[in-house]
Amino acid sequence: MANPWRGEVALTIDGKRHLMRLTLGALAELETQIGSGTLVELVQRFETGGFNTRDVLALVVAGLRGGGWQGQTKDLLDAEIAGGPMAATRAAAELLARAFMLPEHADAGQ
């Protein structure tokens, strides 16, 4: 089970359940991956619905890496994500929310 206190979010890829989380290193990698802009701007894009598939993919990859995954972005291009693109988008948004959530609110999203 994903532990919201650690910022974890679960996502099933190719039939295997992965725990994702945005560690400081994963956040730094995410900043590099999104190129221009800041993490605050990324959060704002998700809050307003102005995100794109590159944002979702970058968040999923960063979250997987924060959870210990050793793969590359290209490994996900043909991967089967349980629940499809909508599940990936929900997981990405939840990752972002949990990364910046105060501990007393960590179980509010469950």
Alpha-carbon distance of 38 to 79, in angstroms, equals 28
State yes or no: pLDDT of 2 exceeds 60: yes
Kindly list the domain boundaries of the chain, sorted by start residue: 25-101
Alpha-carbon distance of 59 to 93, in angstroms, equals 8
**pLDDT at 32 (0 to 100):** 85
State yes or no: pLDDT of 105 exceeds 70: no
**pLDDT at 67 (0 to 100):** 95
Write out pLDDT tens, residues 34-65.
876 788 888 888 889 889 999 999 999 999 99
**pLDDT at 81 (0 to 100):** 97
In one-letter notation, the amino acid at residue 31 is: E
**Between 45 and 88, whose confidence is greater?**
88
Residue 14 phi, psi dihedral angles, 5° rounding: 50, 40
